[in-house]
Amino acid sequence: MTAGELKNAFQGIASTHETLLKVFAEHNEVYGKRVGIDRVKRTYKGYCNAYSHLADFLQKKYHVRDMSFNQLTFSFIEAYDFYLRVDLKMKPNTILGYIIPFRKIVRIAFNKGFIARDPFTEYKPERGQSEHRTLTSEELQKIMNATFDSPNRTLIRDLFVFSSFCGLAFADLRRLTENELITTEDGKQWIVMARKKTGTISRIRLLDIPLQIIEKYKKDRFCERIFNVPGYSTVDINLKRIAEICGINKTLTYHQSRHTFASVVCLSHGVPIETVSRMLGHKDIHTTQIYATVSTQKISDDMKKLSERMTGKFPFVKSQNQ
């Protein structure tokens, strides 16, 4: 036994043990090979960054290059959280961006029997205050009614409105082609396509407004793609300007159109969340619940309908003493 092996054994890193960074690196290698097929490069980079931060923490805190899963405890997770929060001065949502990939690797180890107990069971991450995920119906109407001097800004507004009424993500909007526009026997048009992010099939029945926008830009096509979509940075800058022009005091992003579709267009008008989940192409309905913001007006309307249905069904008999 060498001195290095003795040190590793003392610190729980025997050669027969599966180690944290080893499994993490193997996961990233496999994930990287799937980029462009059913995984996206941005998420892959997130895993790589999470690996690097965890490796730096092990080196600085414990002076080791890896750690056995058997040595992984709740105290370790707390110390890593403290390191990201205090030493690196990260914000809560940024911390989550590094904790979630770490947690996935631990879950893989737990499922494969490398570790007897999930040390994340008692971990409760602090979440930062969420920004406005969705527009109100009034804010959406302001954007729809606005006029702009720039044709490019008008296009970006129209694309945002398009996704607000069909829920299509920006990456999928850019690659939407005529082949993914399906006309059914009843003459209705649908978008049927595999999402770039997850590969899940989205099936979206097109409403009148998206159909009008498709028709508006039909003459501008120079290939099979439905829209000539500018780069994301151009879209992002113009959306900020659109919000300013319309007097909307929110940081407007393209992804908000997807939330607006789920909350304002669908849920607020009685579309079941299961249907919304299928249209958004979510694998898990819990993901859809993140998008689901039910307005006070919707709650009021639903309770009014409930009150009308229940009238006379539950008579309340007062006691004689009253």
> Any residues with CB less than 8 A from the CB of 44 and at least 6 apart, and which?
28, 31, 32, 35
Q: What is the amino acid identity at position 17? A: H
Give mean pLDDT, residues 279-291.
77
pTM: 0.65
The overall average pLDDT reported for the chain is 86
Give mean pLDDT, residues 25-53.
92
Task: Tell me which residue of 96, 280, 109 sits closest to 198, measured CA to CA.
Answer: 280
Task: Tell me which residue of 286, 291, 282, 288 sits closest to 203, measured CA to CA.
Answer: 282
CB-facing half-sphere around the CA of 234: CA atoms within 13 A = 12
**How confident is the model over 48-81, as pLDDT tens digits?**
999 999 999 999 999 999 999 988 999 999 999 9
* pLDDT exceeds cutoff 70 at 106: yes
Q: Where are the alpha helices (DSSP H) in 186-284?
A: 208-216, 232-245, 255-260, 273-280
- Rounded Cα distance, 140 and 191, in Å: 22
Three-class DSSP category at 321: coil
pLDDT at res. 305:
73
Confidence of residue 8 (pLDDT cuts 50, 70, 90): low
Using the structure block, give the residue that is written with the tokens 């290698």. 29
Asked if residues 95 and 81 have their Cβ atoms less than 8 Å apart, the reply is: yes
Q: Where are the alpha helices (DSSP H) in 246-295?
A: 255-260, 273-280, 285-291
Task: Tell me which residue of 168, 276, 149 sits closest to 229, measured CA to CA.
Answer: 168
Tokens of 208: 């009148």
Task: Give Cα 95 to chain centroid, integer Å.
Answer: 16
Asked if residues 204 and 168 have their Cβ atoms less than 8 Å apart, the reply is: yes
**Residue 105 burial (10 A CB sphere; 0-12, 13-18, 19+):** buried
pLDDT at res. 292:
65
Task: Tell me which residue of 87, 120, 134, 62 sits closest to 292, measured CA to CA.
Answer: 134
> Percent of the chain scored above 90 by pLDDT?
57
pLDDT at res. 144:
96
DSSP secondary structure of 106-117: HHHHHHTTS-SS
In the chain, what is the straight-line distance between the N-terminal and C-terminal CA atoms, in Å? Answer: 88
